[in-house]
Amino acid sequence: MKLVPRDTVLNFDDFVEQFFNTGQLSGESRSGFFTPRVDIHESKGNYQISAEMPGIAREDLEVTLENGVLTIEAEVHQKISEGEEEGGKVLRQERRYGKFTRSFNLGGDIKEEDIDATFKDGVLTLTVPKAEPKEPVSHRIQIH
């Protein structure tokens, strides 16, 4: 299994953007896209991916698997307070709003149909069962 995040390895654009925008949090771009922080654990029978999804409702969360690539997506919309509607202004904004996205190349040693997902207290936990290792097949090739 190659649990290397697809969108974070040697991303030169993010590196340059971080260099010129030091007040911005890592993993977040000016376009409002950012990647949730994840922990990945391996046990004998499975991999477990836990992703922080603060402020996300279960119904706004989407997990897809396509061609061996697992993608976690969600979007958090900024709520405008009553004071802002009446001409108030934001003095400081540190909470993140926008689209969460994170992708992982799972490779071929997993059971795609048995992936399980749970969501509790703002943490998405994906359990990805490992496939049984295949015994190498050896046979003699007849030469004609």
Is 35 in contact with 52 (CB distance < 8 Å)? no
Is 65 in contact with 106 (CB distance < 8 Å)? yes
| Residue 112: closest CA among 62, 51, 43, 63 | 63
95 versus 54: which is more confidently predicted? 54
pTM: 0.64
User: Hey, what CATH topology would domain 12-79+94-129 get?
Assistant: Immunoglobulin-like (2.60.40)
Residues in the chain: 144
List C-alpha distances in Å: 8 to 4, 55, 100, 125, 139: 8, 23, 14, 20, 42
pLDDT tens sequence across 93-132: 777 677 888 899 987 788 889 999 999 999 999 999 998 8
Sequence letter at residue 16: V
